[in-house]
Amino acid sequence: MAENTASALFGVEGLRVFDADVEADGTVTVWALTDHPGAASCPDCGAVSGRVHEYALTRPRDLRRGLDEIMVAWCKRRWKCVTQECARKTFTESLPAIPPRCRLTSRLRDLLATEVAERGCTVAEAGRWQHVSWPVTQKTGEYLLLADRWHTCFFDLPGGQGLLRQVEGRTADDAAYWLAQATPAWRDAVEVVAIDMCSIYASAVRRMLPAARLVVDLFHVVQLAVKVTGDVRRRVVREKYGRRGRSGGPEYRVKSLLVRNLEHLSPAQFAKVMDTLGGDRDGQEILAAWIAKEKLRDVINLRARVTGSAPCERAIRDRLFTFCDWCAQHDDIPELASLARTIARWEDELIAATLTGVTNARSESLNRIAKLEARNAYFFRNPANQRQRVRTACTRPEPATPRRHPEITSGNRAATRSRLTSKSHIRERSARPSPAGVDWAWVGWL
């Protein structure tokens, strides 16, 4: 009678409680046995077995009891299948409330899913109270897509209008649909469109704004080149040592120097890179990727903001040819071959960005504000309300006294700030001597 009462209070169908212990910290350990008619049935053939192979003790996590934690100790049996033709020779007991290989009871899974879906708790908060990890809590429920989490934002680059429109989705049709709703006069007035290296948006722009000049943001071009350099270094280290890089390795010691601009390296740092990577074939692959990155930056550095004069398209194409020729000489490096194909695919847009100096830096800053407002608008059930809040934040008026930037002349060019740095943060150009004028022809042995 006492066991039946304890089992009824415990409330897990198919488990019979035979003992309970209370630890010093208040944790209650419930000892239970299987009491379900279908627990001895083979999950493959369905035959009921009467032969016990072994006993096993599992500890599935269950709901808390008030402030006290409940630890379930389930003593279950592993049965031998009595059917000779069955491929499953042994199987353990399972219950509807505790499925096979499940670390949580079904009612705990339902509670965690309800906390997240209905009460609006975060995944970490719901799991923290029940002492369940974030990945396990994340898998307790099924998510139904009510609205696309990705939005496409249209920004006014030169003017002060900020966010023009926020469209749900990020496909070419989503972007083209909004552009198609604009008047023909408005579409014809658009002269330049700046995007990152996304073929989806490029397709939408070419379809709906055929007269506009498409430019690619040069920051993302440099970012891609830096990523390729890191990919080559990680692959080479993995092939050379059979493991990832470590702090004591030579390639790891120059890792931070490879992401910096050439003109920001001191002569000693430049010599360290060349001496470290030029000794063997593996290091020469990393060095070739780094040189390709710098040759691509030579193309971008022809823009007027750096040189102080209008760039020449012929000079841009000459340097672009030098970059492609370098990648062709080292086409045995797959990352460089992929980088060259990508740059060739965006060649016209890259040249247009260098000639015009147009960048989507303003849209990137407003996009950050849009993401912050989307987080502040957490649990908005209506996507239209969220878009209105984002639009309000991204169309605030400009300050009365705008910040002035120094004019770019040959005298103060070294003190200007540039967004196109291969470091993750903006740095002022140093006046110290740099190996910017190095002729890479002497490394023909690569």
| pLDDT tens per residue across span 178-233 | 888 888 898 888 889 998 888 888 999 999 999 899 999 999 999 999 999 999 99
* Other CB atoms within 10 A of residue 384 CB: 11
Q: Are 415 and 428 in contact (CB under 8 A)?
A: yes
CA–CA distance, 434 with 7 (Å, rounded to integer): 78
Enter the pTM of the model: 0.59
Q: Which residues contact 354 (CB under 8 A, 6 or more apart)?
A: 218, 299, 300, 302, 303, 311, 316
Q: Which residues contact 375 (CB under 8 A, 6 or more apart)?
A: none
Q: Which residues contact 236 (CB under 8 A, 6 or more apart)?
A: 251, 282, 283, 285, 286
The residues facing 55 across adjacent strands are: 77
CA–CA distance, 365 with 368 (Å, rounded to integer): 5
pLDDT number for residue 421: 36
Tokens 């490879």 found at:
258
In eight-state DSSP terms, residue 431 is -
Q: Which residues contact 295 (CB under 8 A, 6 or more apart)?
A: 319, 322, 323, 326, 440
Three-state SS at 8: helix
CA–CA distance, 168 with 124 (Å, rounded to integer): 27
Determine the Cα angle at 255 with ends 253 and 258, to 5°: 130
Q: Helix/strand/coil (H, E, C) string of 78-90?
A: EEECCCCCCCCCE
In the structure encoding, which two tokens stand for residue 352, read together? 């247009």
pLDDT number for residue 186: 87
Q: Which residues contact 16 (CB under 8 A, 6 or more apart)?
A: 3, 7, 32, 33, 34, 35
pLDDT number for residue 143: 59
pLDDT number for residue 145: 52
Q: Are 249 and 236 in contact (CB under 8 A)?
A: no
pLDDT < 70 regions, the chain = 1-3, 120, 141-149, 159-160, 377-381, 396-446
In the structure encoding, which two tokens stand for residue 55, read together? 């006993």
In the structure encoding, which two tokens stand for residue 97, read together? 């409330």
In the structure encoding, which two tokens stand for residue 169, read together? 């989705």
Q: In 3D, which of 353, 359, 370, 360 has the Cα closest to residue 153?
A: 370
Determine the Cα angle at 100 with ends 94 and 101, to 5°: 140
57 to 6, 14, 71, 77, 288: CA distances (angstroms): 20, 16, 12, 9, 58
CA–CA distance, 257 with 254 (Å, rounded to integer): 5
* Boundaries of every domain in the chain: 2-102, 104-144, 151-216+361-394, 225-359+435-443
In the structure encoding, which two tokens stand for residue 321, read together? 């040819």
pLDDT number for residue 148: 57
